[in-house]
Amino acid sequence: MKSNWKYILSWLLLMVGGFYLINALIMVGVIDDFIENMLVTIGINIILATGLNLIIGFSGQFSLGHAGFMAIGAYATAIITQRMSSEAGFLVSMFVGVLLAIIIAAIIGTATFIRLKGDYLAIATLGAAEIIRNVINNLKITGGAAGLYNIPQLCSWPTVYILFCVTTIILTNFIRSKNGRAIKAVREDEIAAEAMGINTTKWKLAAFVLGGATAAIAGSLHASFLQTISPSNFGIMESISILVIVVLGGVGSMTGTFVAAIVLGVLDTALQSFGALRMVIYAIVLILIMIFKPAGLLGNWEFSLKNLTRHFGKKERS
């Protein structure tokens, strides 16, 4: 019992420490606007990719529609905060976005998971996301194909940081529990899972809905931070770029997703001065990593404070 509190406290300290570290670096000018933008993008990408990793890496369901849920959150925030430009409005909009994403994820999940698996499921989720995008494209309230602009900026890097911590806590704790074991069992062997009384559709749905809800949070942050959104931001390419982070980091490793999002975020920023060559170099780096690390940067390895302290404890004794 006591050691549990020790680890919870250590993690909390780490998070608060990270906050003040970034804060201090901004104050002394090491982190300028440019780097701050990069950090926010990385934070949003981590929220998106960890949610997708829950669906793909842990419940084993191939989804290509993650950007659709992001769009729901983004548009909820854009529409509501344009009419209610306050911190409270931002919170309400995020809540509405998450709620909508949960409902829509539940509908899409129920329709597809009962019959579809693997590639077919990927195509179906891709189609579902395209439906969401097309609906947004054709509604008046969403501004159609032109999108929405002049969205009030109600979130700065601390908001992103806090929500990034909260979603990470929720996702990792969900995985390291009875729920996580159940969804991993579904990934490993559906027939055996059912024989153990595990309702495979229900658990796939739980992962899908939770992943969709976190994507909506990321969408809200994206809309409020960038202040301009249009349907073309949430197409298949966005879903793919989230998928790239997951695969690159290692399918089934949350730590890997973190590392990949940071590596790609820094790489993307560092390559900005290369102009047209940027995408070529980016792609070459991706190919090289996949050739030399086919299971992703970290495979399915997870960082754990518990193992770390155990490791160092051993060293000290010897």
Partner 1 sequence: MPHLLDVDHVVRKFGGLTAVNDVSLHLDKHELVALIGPNGAGKTTLFNLLTGMVQVTSGKINLQVDDKNYDLTHKSAVQIADLGLSRTFQNIRLFKDLTVMDNVLTAMTNEYKENFLTTVFRLPSFYKTEKEMRAAAQKLLAIFDLTENEQTLAKNLPYGTQRRLEVVRALATHPQILFLDEPAAGMNPEETADLTNLIKYIQKEFQITVLLIEHDMSLVMNLAERIYVLDQGEILATGSPEEIKANPKVIEAYLGEGDD
Closest approach of partner 1 to the CB of residue 94, in Å? 17
- Specify the residue, 87 or 189, whose C-beta has the smaller distance to partner 1: 189
Closest approach of partner 1 to the CB of residue 87, in Å? 23
Distances (CA, A) of 153 to 15, 69, 220: 24, 21, 11
- Specify the residue, 140 or 314, whose C-beta has the smaller distance to partner 1: 314
DSSP the chain: -HHHHHHHHHHHHHHHHHHHHHHHHHHTTSS-HHHHHHHHHHHHHHHHHHHHHIIIIIS------HHHHHHHHHHHHHHHHHHS-SHHHHHHHHHHHHHHHHHHHHHHHHHHHTT--HHHHHHHHHHHHHHHHHHHHH-TTTTGGG-B--------HHHHHHHHHHHHHHHHHHHTSHHHHHHHHHHH-HHHHHHTT--HHHHHHHHHHHHHHHHHHHHHHHHHHH--B-GGGGSHHHHHHHHHHHHHH-TT-HHHHHHHHHHHHHHHHHGGGGTTHHHHHHHHHHHHHHHH-TT-SSTT----HHHHHHHHHHHHH-
Closest approach of partner 1 to the CB of residue 173, in Å? 5
Closest approach of partner 1 to the CB of residue 84, in Å? 28
The Cβ-side half-sphere exposure at 197, using a 13 Å CA radius, reads 0
- Specify the residue, 110 or 199, whose C-beta has the smaller distance to partner 1: 199
Return all residues near 63 (Cβ < 8 A) that are at least 6 apart.
52, 55, 56, 121, 122, 125, 208, 211
- Specify the residue, 75 or 113, whose C-beta has the smaller distance to partner 1: 113
- Specify the residue, 40 or 105, whose C-beta has the smaller distance to partner 1: 105
- Specify the residue, 80 or 98, whose C-beta has the smaller distance to partner 1: 98
Closest approach of partner 1 to the CB of residue 66, in Å? 20
What are the beta bridge partners of residue 148? Answer: 229
Closest approach of partner 1 to the CB of residue 300, in Å? 7
Closest approach of partner 1 to the CB of residue 83, in Å? 31
Q: Are 226 and 238 in contact (CB under 8 A)?
A: no
Closest approach of partner 1 to the CB of residue 306, in Å? 13
- Specify the residue, 155 or 251, whose C-beta has the smaller distance to partner 1: 251
Closest approach of partner 1 to the CB of residue 269, in Å? 32
List residues binding partner 1 (CB under 8 A): 1, 4, 8, 169-170, 173-174, 177-179, 181-182, 184-185, 188-189, 191-200, 300
